[in-house]
Chains A and B, each alone.
Chain A
Amino acid sequence: MKENEAILQTHMKDFGYGYFEKPEQIIPPIAISFYSFHIMVSFGMWFIALFALVLFFILKRDIKNYPLVLYAALWSIPLGYIAAEAGWIVAEVGRQPWAIQDLMPTHIAATHLGGGNVALSFTLFAILFTVLLIAEIKIMLRQIAKGFEGAH
């Protein structure tokens, strides 16, 4: 028993590798992590440049006279969300197959929950959040249409 415990202690840091058959199984999906990371970083760089530009036009010029800059700012709004999502993909896909690095793989960490349960909860989340998204967008569009004058 003591001997076994000593062996376990020595190899504890690599404990999770026991769950795998082949070395290839511990490689995360490369392409999706690679491109997500680059999308995230590119947009991050773009935002730094854009903010510098906007700051310059606010301090040194009257930004209202430069519609291109204003449109660039407007059309950059979705990029922030895309960058955030890409970042999550890097984090969550890039960590595969580990829930805890070297100790516990995700397929072991997952709850034993039937596919039907997962599908049903996914559907419920999708429906509820889609309905709330529609509400949010409609409210926002109305507020934007009203502009500053209509705000209280």
Chain B
Amino acid sequence: MFELLSFLQLQQLWWMIVSLLAGLFVFLMFIQGGQSLLFSLPENEMEKSMLINSLGRKWELGFTTLVLFGGALFAAFPLFYATSFGGAYWVWLAILFCFIIQAVSYEYRKKENNFLGQKTYEIFLYINGSLGVILLGVALSTLFSGASFHLDENFFVQWDSKLRGLEALFIPQNYLLAFALFFLARLSAGLYFLSNINHASLHVRIQKMLLKNTLLFLPFFLGFLAWIFLKEGFAYDASGIVSIEAYKYLNNLLALPVVAVMILLGVVLVLVALYLGIFKASVHGIKVMGSGIVLAVMGIFLLLGLNQTAFYPSITALQSSLTIENSSGSHYTLTAMSYVALIIPFVLAYISYAWYAMDRKDIDEAEMSDASEHHY
């Protein structure tokens, strides 16, 4: 079946899969968003415990999706892996450290004799939810702003900045996506909490938080859209020569109407979800939000890699820029991976089942006080 597809079709298929996973991951970043609210949203220990337990049921889904997204991206486009991970070394390592401290904090926080104390693990969760998201946003934004590398004749990466990826922190435009993601994650967290924590006064504060963070999210998100649609992009022709093209991403949007509709619909759904949360305290906001985020993020990723666009541009050596065509695995590899990817729908079905099984009962104060229940 897949072996009948052309090499280019397989590369496009895999870029679509990667884009879908990126969308799912950004949606699941509500876990990080929730962690960033631990010191501002709850008014007492009980409320904080409810938030952490609500997130604790789901954090592994976010972590696994991050690994799945990174794994798919790196396996399908190994030259991107070789270039970015080895090259932008410190930014990836910083992100890794932000995620190592998340993994243990849920488990250790409330355990007796935990060495660093409950507060430290909560600070770890906060660092993961704020710095982790912002660094990831900056790293992803370099897919638009470009990075400083060149590839030698053996395709080995030479990084052209001594800061090894951290130089991306000095490009102001990268913070548009970084903070848009940060506030978006907090917004989805608010909607998520509304859906599975049963606590009236917390709901009122969540609604206020949603309003405030919507006002903070919109300028960064609109700024990001304005930046990418007005900036020049990195195009390549049939022979693989990369060149700068004015309004490249806007041109892509117009050339791919299906993607344009996806992004528009995604943004509308996000706004509807925020309306449901802010004004109705609706338990369904998170589902609408999730659909909106997946559509919008997937659409933005498609603009980045399809229609003859270099998805990882080099600003120091234009011809070293990576495209889905020059960075992918072989026809054989992508074919084999496509067969393996057929199990993705089953994995997604399992995740949905696990999600609903965990959410069958709302979190409330009684459950938090029940010693027979598992608590984070």
Contact = CB atoms under 8 A, between A and B. Distances in A.
A124 B89 contact: no
B158 interface: yes
Interface stretch (A2-10, A66-74, A130-138): A130-138
B97 A117 contact: no
8 contacts: A111-B87, A112-B157, A132-B100, A135-B115, A142-B112, A142-B113, A143-B111, A143-B112
B348 interface: no
A121 B114 contact: no
Nearest to B158: A112
B97 A124 contact: yes
A151 to B, nearest CB: 11
B100 A111 contact: no
Q: Which of B100, B372, B374 has the most CB of A within 10 A?
A: B100
Q: Which of B113, B116, B157, B372 has the most CB of A within 10 A?
A: B113
A141 interface: yes
B336 interface: no
B279 interface: no
A117 B89 contact: yes
B2 interface: no
A97 to B, nearest CB: 17
Interface residues on A, range: 10 to 19
Given A111-B86, A111-B89, A138 B113 contact: yes
Contacts of B332: none
Contacts of A134: 115
A64 interface: no
B116 to A, nearest CB: 6
Contacts, number: 53
Given A117-B164, A152-B372, A135 B89 contact: no
Contacts of B372: 152
Interface in B91-135: 93, 97, 100-101, 104, 108, 111-116
Contacts of B366: none
Nearest to A141: B113
B87 A121 contact: no
B343 interface: no
Contact of B114 (A113, A124, A135): A135
B371 interface: yes
Contacts of A121: 89, 93
Given A128-B100, A139-B111, A113 B89 contact: yes
B89 A132 contact: no
Nearest to B104: A132
B121 to A, nearest CB: 9
A134 B113 CA distance: 10
Contact of B116 (A135, A141, A152): A135
